[in-house]
Structures are given as C-alpha cells and as structure tokens.
Chains A and B, each alone.
Chain A
Amino acid sequence: MGSTISSIFFVTDYWSFMVAVAATLFCFLFATALVFRKPKLEGSPSELNSLKPRDCACLGEDSGVDSGEEMTARLSGGGKENGVEMAVDRQTGASMMEQLVPEITTHALSYLDYPSLCRLSMTNSLMRKAANDDNAWKALYHKELNTTLNPLSSYNAVMESWQLAFSWENVADFQIRDVRTRVLTDMAWVTMKVFVDIGAGPFNVTNIFEFHNGRWYMVHHHSSALLIHRGGQQQLMQA
C-alpha cells in the first residue's frame, strides 16, 4: 500500500518536474532569441555590403553636388585615391544596369511598357534574363490589365477564381471536347466545350492568349453554360 502511494507521488513529481523543465527551456529559448535579435539588426548594413561589393563608379566626379549650403561636408583623407580608381573603373565599366542588384533591376523594369521590355530583352543575354523575370511580367500584368479589362480583371482576382475552380470538391473530373484553336502572329484564341461531371455543364469556354517575349499569356477567359440546360444562365470569368 505504502509503496503504491509513494509511486503515485513520484509520478506527480515527475510530471511537475517535466513541466518545470519545459518552462525553463522556453524561457531560455526566448532569451536567446532576444539576445540574437539585436546584433542582427545592427549587422544588416555590413550584411548588405558583403552581398554586393560595388565600385561606386560615380565618385570620380563630384560636380553634381549642389547642396553645399544645406549640409556641412567634411572631406577626410583617402577619398582622392579612391576617386582615381573609380574613374578608371568607370572607363572600362560594364553597363550600369548590370551593376544594379537583381531586385532593383526587376523593380525598375516593372515600370516599363511591354514593347519596351521586349526590346530590352533583345539587347543581350543578361538583359534577356532580367526582362524575362516573372516578377516584371507579373507587375506589368497587374498594371496593364487592371486598367483595361472588366470585371474579373486583376491578377489576384483571376488567380482566386482559378483557385476556387480547382478546389471545388464536387468536380471530380471534367472533359474537354471540340477544341478549336486559331493562332495569329501574337494572339491566339481557343474555344472548347467543357463537360463537368456534376451535371452543371456543358460550358462553352473561350480563352484568349497573347504572345509576349516567347511565351503565351492567357489574357481573357470566358465560360458560359450552354443554353440547352438552363436558358441563359451565365457564368462569367474574365481575365
């Protein structure tokens, strides 16, 4: 009897001990996280520095400094020697665009219209790579198509509607028939009948694609129920 009681006590002690250990561990982890957070913040400039050791090509000419009154500029030694090096660098220098870090290039390119973006991609292989970046095109898609088409006309709206369509649990299967394609130089349209096995179909579907920079982009999607079933009820999805 006595041993049973003591063993119950032991069990209780064991668990409270474990709880205490867990709590201590948690506190320790939290404290460690706090300690490590600060140096990381302070270290970020040098982190950036090591990412891109660049040669500050602009240094050679300071002629553009026109803000003398507003600030007190103090030249310290050593700057001149650097200045000479930089000037030399600039002579042999590669394209400024190539010196920009990729994130900046992508960001800058997202401000271009797409014919100009395509032209840029034809200048050399590096620019081709930069101009083919999906993010630049995504930004362009957001900007261009947001303003020109209605009603489901933003990138997010289109993606959401596709997500909805694909996560629709009832759709176990669908079949596509009568696919017709017509392709012009940089535009194509595809029509088809879609039979969905929940009996709501068939749908008449039209997709329009534009060809940009070596890839086909869907710019318009329309789907409406065939009139045989429920006269005139339409489902519209446009991109």
Chain B
Amino acid sequence: MAPKNKNPNGENVVPEVQQKKTQALILKSSDGEEFSISKSAAGLSVAIKNMMEDDCAGGVIPLPLVDGGTLARVITYLNKHAEDGASDEDKRKFDEEFLSGMEVDVLCDVALAGNYLDIRGLFHDVCQRIVNGMKNKSVEWVRKTFRIESDFTAEEEEQIKKEYAWAWEGVDSDAD
C-alpha cells in the first residue's frame, strides 16, 4: 500500500504531459470503441465517479456491458447534462428529444447502461419511457411491440380473457 506518485509534501505529482489528459477519461465499449469524455461529464455516472475517487480511473476504463452505439448515446446525454450553460429547461427539452427517437430495443440497452453506470436521471427517464409504450395498450399490441411470445395454451388464453374481460375493454387502438 505504498503511495505512488507523491512528492515529499504528500501531494500527487502529475507529469505535465499527463496533466492535460486528466481533464478527460477514455471509456472503452464492449466492442472495443473508445470515447473520450470530460471528467465532469463522466462524474455524473456514480459508478465512474466512485472509480475516480478510488483512483482507479487511470488510463482506459473498460465497460464490458455497454456496446459502442449505446455508449455513444449515454455520452451524448452526459455531455449535455454537464454543459455549463444548460438550464434545467434546456436539459428537460434535450431529454425529451433524446429519448423520443429511440426504439424499444435501444431504450432497453440505454436502461441497462444507465443502471450499470448508475446514472439515476437517465435510468429513471428511460424506464418511464419504456413503460409509457405499454400504457393503455391491448395485450396483443404489447406482445407485438415488446416481442413477448405467449406461452399460454389456447385454454389458458380463453380463461384469462374470460376472467379479466375488463382488460380487453377501453384500450387504445392497435393501429398506432
């Protein structure tokens, strides 16, 4: 447990060349893509913040659970939220647009990444977005959209329809 890179005053010694680098981190996705991100933006992820605090965020941080496409999206989000001039209103608008263009699959990937990297705001918004797609939709529609395959037998299916008839009433049309 000998301290590394400390001068006699106990301060961290960072060589000048490295000093610039400390302003940014490199995140590496599961498929080997590398992204540079400012420390302030990366710090919005509690998982990365903890790594930085524990001093193990040097060099490249591998994120084996996040693929490049998803990581790019997450970084876009973090950059916006770390932006100095961005007001809450700006961020809210950004979040809305950011998520509205995503398919269910992409949303699920971002949810996993948000949870893994512990980015609370993103995780909550994405979860909300995912389930919004189910609200007031028919059972069949939810199956189709979320690719849920029914494993009930025809009799079970009948039984459910009979027992919970209300669930088939007053739902949005499947057309949208």
Contact of A64 among B69, B112, B164 (CB under 8 A): B69
**In this assembly, does A107 line the interface, its C-beta being within 8 Å of a C-beta of chain B?**
yes
Q: Give Cα A58–Cα B72 distance, bound, in whole angstroms.
A: 12
Closest Cβ neighbor of A56 among chain B residues = B67
User: Does the CB pair B65–A75 fall under 8 Å?
Assistant: no
Least CB distance from B107 to A in Å reads: 8
User: Does the CB pair A42–B116 fall under 8 Å?
Assistant: no
Which of B14-22, B84-92, B128-136 contacts its partner? B128-136
Least CB distance from A15 to B in Å reads: 34
Contact of B134 among A52, A57, A98, A120 (CB under 8 A): A120
User: Does the CB pair A109–B131 fall under 8 Å?
Assistant: yes
User: Does the CB pair A108–B111 fall under 8 Å?
Assistant: yes
User: Does the CB pair B152–A124 fall under 8 Å?
Assistant: yes
**In this assembly, does B174 line the interface, its C-beta being within 8 Å of a C-beta of chain A?**
no
Query: With A58-B67, A59-B67 in contact, do A76 and B138 touch (Cβ < 8 Å)?
Result: no
Which of A89-97, A189-197, A201-209 contacts its partner? A89-97
Closest Cβ neighbor of B56 among chain A residues = A42
Collect the chain B residues with CB atoms within 8 Å of residue A44's CB. 47
Least CB distance from A177 to B in Å reads: 34
**In this assembly, does A48 line the interface, its C-beta being within 8 Å of a C-beta of chain B?**
yes
Least CB distance from B167 to A in Å reads: 5
Contact of B36 among A71, A95, A118 (CB under 8 A): A71
Query: With A119-B138, A122-B164 in contact, do A111 and B127 touch (Cβ < 8 Å)?
Result: yes
Q: Which of A139-179 contact B (CB under 8 A)?
A: none
User: Does the CB pair B65–A54 fall under 8 Å?
Assistant: yes
Least CB distance from B26 to A in Å reads: 9
User: Does the CB pair B148–A119 fall under 8 Å?
Assistant: no
